[in-house]
Amino acid sequence: MPAYDFICNNCDQRFEVFLTFSEYGKKTVKCAFCGSKNVRRRMTKVRIARSEESRMESMADDFSGFEGLEEDPKAMGRMMRKMGKEMGEELPPEFDEVVDRLEKGQTPEEIEKEIPDLGGDAGDEE
């Protein structure tokens, strides 16, 4: 059953309603928070399926100039966030933490010192 996003015009709360295709447009939708019928449909992002080859080509075009990234953590963070979105896969929460830190200007070395076990396998020893 599809989920539809709505916004209440009275309390400005966002909420989701599950409706069958036959119910949509016929069943009255009420705000999940205040019960008002004064609601409007919220349009959400549309996801377009792309081949892995197409995603890789797009990333290659966007990131052809990697020079200077090691001196600019914020630019590195932006690049990593965009690459993560282009991959279209669920990434671990640690990825978001590292990217957030980079975008705030923290260097990879500083991140590694604060989170030493990040990215390494626990059983690997050199």
Q: What is the pLDDT of residues 25-76, one digit of tens each?
A: 899 999 999 999 999 998 876 666 667 677 667 666 655 556 666 778 888 8
Looking at domain 3-41, its CATH class is: mainly beta
51 burial class (0-12, 13-18, 19+ CB within 10 angstroms)? exposed
Each residue's pLDDT tens digit, 98-110? 888 888 988 888 8
Distance CA 69, CA 118 (A): 20
Q: Are 58 and 84 in contact (CB under 8 A)?
A: no
Q: Helix 93-103 and helix 73-87: axis angle, to 10°?
A: 150
For the cut 80, the answer to whether the pLDDT of residue 114 exceeds it is: yes
CB-CB contact of 61 with 52 (8 Å)? no
pTM of the model: 0.43
User: What confidence score (pLDDT) does residue 108 get?
Assistant: 85
Residue intervals of the chain classified under CATH 2.20.28 are 3-41
